[in-house]
């Protein structure tokens, strides 16, 4: 996962974490450069063999995916710590997106989303028509989910999130980004609803 205009390079990885950690603002966060609140976040697709999935049974309602670590990692995977592997494991259908931003006007006020487009920069994001856009609210308690136009979010291989502005703050701060949806390429062709908590297993640390 990568971000353009992040004040601390690599900090975007910290916002992809377990749902129960979404309100934890004590650690690293994604923040734009001072005086320029615009952010662009790109999430690619990962090789499925570098991940494992919990609760892979026909009767489950949701599943959590996280990267393999240690000797079981795929050949192209590098262990860079928590959140380093914020990638979809297969083509997915996204039902909703959650964003928890910062206080004092630093939460993003708008979200524009592009799917299956690589190499988007700020110029592209500003001029292209997004698949969908939302006027956001300051979701400091992490209770809101933004529903997608589901028919337009089928077979998502990669996704770009454009946050053009904040609620008047000099920067944009993001503590958490999460997705809910369905994966269609799980073992035995099982279609399961997944909460994408894109994070390593805490017991591996």
Per-residue pLDDT at 26: 80
Q: For 140-160, what is each residue's pLDDT tens digit?
A: 999 999 999 999 999 888 899
Can you say whether the dihedral through the CA atoms of 140, 149, 126, 85 is positive or negative? Answer: positive
Instruction: Tell whether the model's pLDDT for residue 188 goes beyond 60.
Output: no
Cβ-count burial 68-89 (b if 16+ within 10 Å, e if not): bbeeebeeebeeeebbbbbbbb
CA atoms within 13 A of residue 83's CA, in its CB half-sphere: 22
Q: Using CA atoms, how far apart are residues 169 and 21, in angstroms rounded to an integer?
A: 24
Domains of the chain: 2-204 (2.60.120.470)
Query: Stretch 80-102: mean pLDDT, rounded?
Result: 69
Whole-number average pLDDT of the chain: 75
Q: Please, which pLDDT band fits residue 170 given cuts at 50, 70 and 90?
A: very high
Instruction: Tell whether the model's pLDDT for residue 69 goes beyond 50.
Output: no
Question: Which residues face 108 on adjacent strands?
Answer: 166
Tell me how far CA of residue 183 lies from CA of 53, 95, 153, in angstroms: 11, 11, 12
Q: Using CA atoms, how far apart are residues 25 and 168, in angstroms rounded to an integer?
A: 20
Q: Please, which pLDDT band fits residue 11 given cuts at 50, 70 and 90?
A: very high
Specify whether the backbone of 170 is left (phi greater than 0), alpha (psi in -120 to 50) or beta: alpha
Report pTM: 0.74
> What DSSP letter does each residue of 105-138 carry, written as one string?
TTSBSEEEEEES--S--HHHHHHSPPSEEEE---
Q: Using CA atoms, how far apart are residues 83 and 176, in angstroms rounded to an integer?
A: 11
């Amino acid at each position: 996962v990568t971000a353009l205009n992040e004040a601390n390079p690599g900090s975007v990885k910290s916002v992809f974490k377990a749902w129960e950690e979404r309100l934890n603002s004590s650690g690293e966060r994604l923040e734009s450069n001072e005086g320029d609140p615009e952010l662009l976040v790109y999430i690619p697709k990962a090789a499925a063999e570098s991940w494992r999935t919990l609760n892979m049974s026909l009767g489950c309602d949701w599943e959590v995916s996280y990267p393999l670590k240690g000797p079981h990692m795929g050949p192209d995977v590098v262990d860079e710590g928590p959140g380093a592997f914020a990638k979809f494991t297969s083509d997915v259908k996204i039902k909703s997106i959650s964003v928890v931003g910062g206080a004092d006007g630093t939460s993003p006020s708008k979200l524009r989303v592009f799917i299956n487009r690589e190499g988007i920069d700020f110029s592209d994001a500003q001029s292209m028509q997004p698949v969908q856009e939302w006027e956001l609210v300051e979701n400091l308690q992490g209770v809101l989910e933004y529903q997608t136009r589901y028919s337009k979010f089928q077979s998502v291989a990669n996704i770009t999130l454009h946050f053009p502005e904040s609620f008047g703050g000099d920067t944009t701060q993001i503590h958490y980004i999460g997705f809910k949806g369905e994966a269609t390429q799980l073992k035995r062709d099982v279609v399961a609803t997944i909460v994408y908590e894109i994070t390593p297993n805490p017991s591996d640390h």
